Amino acid sequence: MTTIEDVTAPPPPPSGEPSAEEKTWGMLAHLAALSGLFSGGVGCVVGPLVVWLVKKDTMPFVDDQGKEALNFNITVFIAYVVLMAMTFLSFFILSPLTILMGIVVGVGWLVLTIIALVKANEGVAYRYPFTLRLVK
């Protein structure tokens, strides 16, 4: 007989290598950020957020990688907001610099996201560099 405590107990901590299903969902947490390329940038945050919210309680590896993808994409979003603010506040005088910096941030985002999804597919808990850890 199953008790209420058995049903509401938190999942066990990750032990050993994640299952194939966890690897796939971990990879999808990073892959979902690429939806931002087709949604005007909104999907970069919403995609990983949805994957993390759906699987965080049942899969510890996805909980970890979903938070990592979410934190990284929030950090990149903040960087773009700062670049846009610099452009507007300088009355577009700094626009050549901010456009160049935006391209560098965008290419870095794409490369690091691809590295992260490959590592997650291998079962490695990837950590993005230069990331604010806002979601704990």
- Say whether pLDDT at 127 is over 70: yes
- Position 6 scores a pLDDT of 46
Neighbour count for residue 75 (Cβ, 10 Å): 17
- Position 37 scores a pLDDT of 86
Per-residue pLDDT of 13-70, as tens digits, reads: 456 789 999 999 999 999 999 998 888 788 899 999 999 999 999 999 999 999 999 9
Q: How far apart are CA 91 and CA 108, in angstroms?
A: 27
